[in-house]
């Protein structure tokens, strides 16, 4: 099979304007991946499936990843002009100092696809797509029109991570119910404590549910006392 660099070059030659970045993997497996821009992702996927040398006809796995905002600290050298007194005379002098700067790298959601060729008996080739952020720019193109096996897996990513796959034929929750709020695999997800199902054997969850019910009952009792006072 072609190397990841050769696949990158083949994509760029076949799909004009496609932005393809190699994401290195420093683990012993060295399973590097290709980051695609959303605008050309479907065209790239079609090329990878139909190319005579690659013939990546099987999507084995698709999953989501949640990357939170990250604070990055870096040291930079800055040249500045200061005034120094030399022999009783003030003179401008340039000096280079090292400053520590911090900035926040916005988080994003990521969809990762593992491709194989059943015809050529090679793979995997790993593709990635990233959203603009984690809030209001969470759309990515669906690859279901290229690999039908993406249909249920993209639904799962939508359900658990919140990526909206445009062009998906049936994008709806698959594990959680329709009225469920939020996405349980987000790294900042907060579990509810108002469980409506049977008591659980997990002590911590049960204690949280009992505390929630006690707080509700206390709130209801305080409301009844306020109403009774007003009637008097």
Q: What is the pLDDT of residues 129-141, one digit of tens each?
A: 999 999 999 999 9
Q: Is residue 181 part of a domain?
A: no
Which of 11-20, 91-100, 152-161, 195-204 bottoms out in mean pLDDT, i.e. has the lowest?
A: 195-204
Mean pLDDT of 189-208: 71
Strands 122-130 and 108-117: antiparallel
More confident site: 229 or 175: 175
Residue 24 and residue 132 in one domain: yes
pLDDT band at 197 (very low <50, low <70, confident <90, very high): low
**Is the bond leading into 124 cis (omega within 30 degrees of zero)?**
yes
CB-based burial of residue 195 (10 Å sphere; 0-12 exposed, 13-18 middle, 19+ buried)? middle
Half-sphere exposure of 37 (CA within 13 A, CB side): 10
The reported pLDDT for the residue numbered 101 is 86
Q: Is residue 179 part of a domain?
A: no
Q: Nearest to residue 112, comparing CAs of 99, 130, 94, 95?
A: 130
Residue 89 and residue 145 in one domain: no
Domain of residue 97: give its range: 70-104
Residue 127 and residue 232 in one domain: no
Residue 197 and residue 146 in one domain: no
More confident site: 83 or 39: 39
Q: Is residue 204 part of a domain?
A: yes
Residue 118 and residue 221 in one domain: no
- What's the domain count of the chain? 3
Cα 14 to the center of its chain, rounded Å: 28
Mean pLDDT of 200-224: 75
Residue 61 and residue 129 in one domain: yes
CATH number of the domain where residue 141 is located: 3.30.460.80
- The residues near 60 (Cβ < 8 Å, ≥ 6 apart) are 114, 115, 116, 123, 124, 149
Residue 118 and residue 9 in one domain: yes
**In this prediction, what percent of the chain has a pLDDT beyond 70?**
91
Residue 114 and residue 223 in one domain: no
Integer Rg of the chain from CA: 27
Q: Within 10 Å of residue 28's Cβ, how many Cβ atoms?
A: 6
Residue 114 and residue 156 in one domain: yes
> Dihedral angle at the C-alpha atoms of 165, 117, 119, 38, nearest 10 degrees?
40
Q: Is residue 172 part of a domain?
A: no
Residue 41 pLDDT greater than 70, yes or no: yes
* Overall pTM > 0.85: no
Residue 93 and residue 198 in one domain: no
**In this prediction, what percent of the chain has a pLDDT beyond 90?**
61
The reported pLDDT for the residue numbered 222 is 66
């Amino acid at each position: 099979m072609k190397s990841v660099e050769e696949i990158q070059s083949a994509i760029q030659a076949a799909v004009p304007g496609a932005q393809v970045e190699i994401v290195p993997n420093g683990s012993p497996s060295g399973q590097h991946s290709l980051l695609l821009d959303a605008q050309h992702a479907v065209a790239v996927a079609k090329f990878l499936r139909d190319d005579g040398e690659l013939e990546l006809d099987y999507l084995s796995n698709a999953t989501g990843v949640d990357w939170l905002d990250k604070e990055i600290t870096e040291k930079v050298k800055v040249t500045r002009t200061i005034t120094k007194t030399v022999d009783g005379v003030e003179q401008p002098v340039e000096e280079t100092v090292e400053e520590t700067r911090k900035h926040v790298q916005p988080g994003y959601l990521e969809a990762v696809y593992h491709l194989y060729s059943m015809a050529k008996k090679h793979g995997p080739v790993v593709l990635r797509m990233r959203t603009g952020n984690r809030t209001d720019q969470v759309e990515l193109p669906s690859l279901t029109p290229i690999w039908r096996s993406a249909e249920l897996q993209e639904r799962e990513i939508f359900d658990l991570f919140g990526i909206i796959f445009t062009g998906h034929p049936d994008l709806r929750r698959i594990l959680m119910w329709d009225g469920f709020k939020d996405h349980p695999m987000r790294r900042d997800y907060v579990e509810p404590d108002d469980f409506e199902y049977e008591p659980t054997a997990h002590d911590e969850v049960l204690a949280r549910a009992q505390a929630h019910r006690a707080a509700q009952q206390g709130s209801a009792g305080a409301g009844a006392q306020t109403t009774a006072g007003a009637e008097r």
